Amino acid sequence: MASNSIAITGGYIVPVEGEPIDGGTVLLVDGKIAAVAGPDFKPPPGADVVDAAGKWVLPGFIDAHAHLGVHEEGEGWAGSDTNEMTGPVQAHVRALDAINPAEEGFRDAIAGGVLAVNVNPGSGNPIGGQTVAIRCWGRTVDDMVLREPAGLKSALGENPKRVYGERKETPATRLGTAAVIRAAFTDARNYIAKQDFEKNTSSERKEPTARDLKLEALARVLRREIPWRQHCHRADDIATAMRIADEFGYQLVIDHGTEAHLIADKIAAAGIPVIIGPLFTSRSKVELRNRSLANPGRLAAAGVTIAITTDHPVVPIHFLIHQATLAVKEGLDRETALRAVTINPAGIIGVADRLGSLSAGKDADVVVWSGDPLDVMSRAEVAYIGGREVYHYDYSARTGVHVTP
């Protein structure tokens, strides 16, 4: 039993969904969380017992918007595969097909307690491609996948306007970007209508509609199978995102949301989550003039569901929890801060049934911290993915040790 049963005992357990347990036990069996119990719990015979006295035990953190593996650090152009900027509508391209699991950023993620991430294409196109939710450990990306696709990336605002404006191509304006998106969804609606008509008409009528991978991807959004991941910073761009979503009836997620606090009441009323960040950046463009570490707290206070993102490599992914810490310093409550890097992003990317909190039946993706993770002096000491230890910190060598997948 020792090979597949681990009891993490005596720690301060933060389940995220539920009250903390001081001196409790988290039991991992066959890659799943079998129990989250109090001090009186007795580990089963044969379990490997890990003494976590004085430590904090939490679920692995999740970054719901990053470019990990598709925008590799230290590789320059050779490792940059975030934007297929050969046309404004790239709904058919998949982040899945460009992720390099050997990228150093995955090891940084685990060392920072981030065990899962949603990898997005970039924001150079009005429609950038399909996202994928993955774990941060595996030999191939196929071994890492949690949900694919997990969304479809789109961008409003400065980025597509700049890219295509410099080429003097459509879209060179905000109104042009919105028009490209609306036209693509209209084409997808027509594609769905043709398919539905063919299903209800004799096959002798004519040849079936030829497959179109772009329209198939957009159709999944219209059928609400996956969310529309809308890059937008300015409040007016967020309002445009909400307007188009209302027109076409799809599930909208706001990515970045720098000025979302200015219309937080409208966002909350619509039930739209905001993945806010990155927060450790300068005001490098006009859209970011209202960037503030106080914005997550303002959104949460208005009733908006938030997740915090690094937008890695814009901010190194292992700084995810540090962004949450400074957001707490500027007004975000502690409980929401931890939810913003665990269960909230899990829900947004569609994996909350497996990750995001410590509860029986979920995947055994667990991190033992030296102390409160919101304290910048704390570190991730041990990380488990699927109940297997994938990382530990060696204090004698002052370095992290990663297990090879």
The tens digit of pLDDT for each residue in 184-211 reads 999 999 999 999 888 887 666 567 788 9
Residue 34, both tokens: 């079998």
CATH code for residues 1-60+356-405: 2.30.40.10
Confidence of residue 73 (pLDDT cuts 50, 70, 90): confident
**Span(s) in the chain for CATH 3.20.20.140:** 61-355
CA distances (Å), 271 to each of 55, 251, 258, in order? 36, 10, 18
Q: What is the mean pLDDT of residues 288-300?
A: 97
Choices 2.30.110.10, 3.40.50.720, 3.40.190.10, 3.20.20.140: CATH for 61-355: 3.20.20.140
pLDDT tens profile 48-68? 999 999 999 999 999 999 999
Residue 285, both tokens: 């463009």
What percent of the chain is modeled with pLDDT above 90?
93
**Span(s) in the chain for CATH 2.30.40.10:** 1-60+356-405
Got the DSSP string for 65-119?
Answer: EE-TTTB-TT-GGGGB-S---SSSB-TT-BGGGG--TT-HHHHHHHHTTEEEEEE
Q: What is the mean pLDDT of residues 252-266?
A: 98
The strand ranges marked E within 108-243 are 114-119, 127-135, 145-155, 228-232
Q: Which residues are CB-contacts of 208 (< 8 A; sequence separation ≥ 6)? A: 198
Summary mean pLDDT of the chain? 96
